[in-house]
Amino acid sequence: MKIYLKIWRQKDASSKGKMVDYTVEGIEGDMSFLEMLDILNEELISQGEEPIEFDHDCREGICGTCSLQINGRPHGPDTRITACQLHMRSFKDGDTITIEPFRAKAFPVVKDLIIDRSAFDRIQQAGGYISVNTSGNTVDANAIPIEKDKADHSFNAATCIGCGACVAACKNASAMLFTSAKVSQFALLPQGRVEAADRVLNMVRQMDIEGFGNCTNTGACEVECPKGISLENIARMNREYLSASIKG
């Protein structure tokens, strides 16, 4: 296939970026989207040009670093996958593909397609932990009976990989889905109830400090989430927050 690309290029965080046109040929449908970018970069390097910077690591849909806005959608046209799991068979010969970094005030561009998502780290650091001793004197997992329904919902929330697609999909650049997933994975388990009130208050406070917007109630975040994190987590976080606020 011959593919036409419009890619965001930005030298550094303080420079003004712009869209640059590229053409790449010999692309096969079984190639991943990131492999296509690798081929383009090899051509740029051979021509003495600076390659396009983009984040990637596991290429297995686990780490969440391959955060790309592809034709206006986080991670591209397919659902429940990350950009590294997207294959070129999703496109046709002669297609034009627009590639940008995720757009959000709290996700400043570092260079080209790389963004700084450390705001997510700070939200987790504000309350995403438990005080229960999990090393040295570990309690047997079966010592605390947990209802299967709650265990399943906790596990589903914990599958969030923190890629930021929810933020990129939201017109308010809200981090409510991400934050609620991190709150929910502990709120549903007895081990997480010790810090429950402080956790939700601190994490929501940090989310606001980072400059994320409020929930739009459109559901775009759940649709674009590669792990299908449910909106039910936002409702749960709101209940946890209200309860914690009343208790003071």
Closest CA to 13 of 122, 107, 147, 150: 107
- On whether the CB atoms of residues 164 and 120 are closer than 8 A, the answer is yes
Joined tokens for residue 50: 């600076």
Closest CA to 64 of 8, 102, 27: 102
Neighbours of 163 (CB within 10 A): 27
Of the candidate CATH numbers 1.10.238.10, 3.60.15.10, 3.40.50.9100, 1.10.1060.10, the domain formed by 118-247 belongs to 1.10.1060.10
List per-residue pLDDT tens for the chain, 248 residues long: 999 999 999 999 999 999 999 999 999 999 999 999 999 999 999 999 999 999 999 999 999 999 999 999 999 999 999 999 999 999 999 999 999 999 999 999 999 999 999 999 999 999 988 877 667 777 776 788 899 999 999 999 999 999 999 999 999 999 999 999 999 999 999 989 999 999 999 999 999 999 999 999 999 999 999 999 999 999 999 999 999 999 86
CATH of domain 3-111: 3.10.20.30
Joined tokens for residue 209: 């400090």
Apex 68 CA angle, 65 and 70, nearest 5: 155
Domain ranges, ordered by start, for the chain? 3-111, 118-247
CA gap 106, 117 in Å, rounded:
8
List the beta bridge partners of residue 215.
none
CA dist list (Å): 126 to 171, 181, 205, 206, 216: 25, 14, 9, 7, 24
CB crowding 86-96: b at 16 or more within 10 Å, else e? bbbeebeeeee
CA gap 148, 73 in Å, rounded:
35
Q: Per residue in 170-179, pLDDT tens?
A: 999 999 999 9
Helix (H, G, I), strand (E, B) or coil at 213: strand
Tell the residue number behind the tokens 């981090």, with chain if given: 175
pTM of the model: 0.94
Q: Per residue in 32-77, pLDDT tens?
A: 999 999 999 999 999 999 999 999 999 999 999 999 999 999 999 9
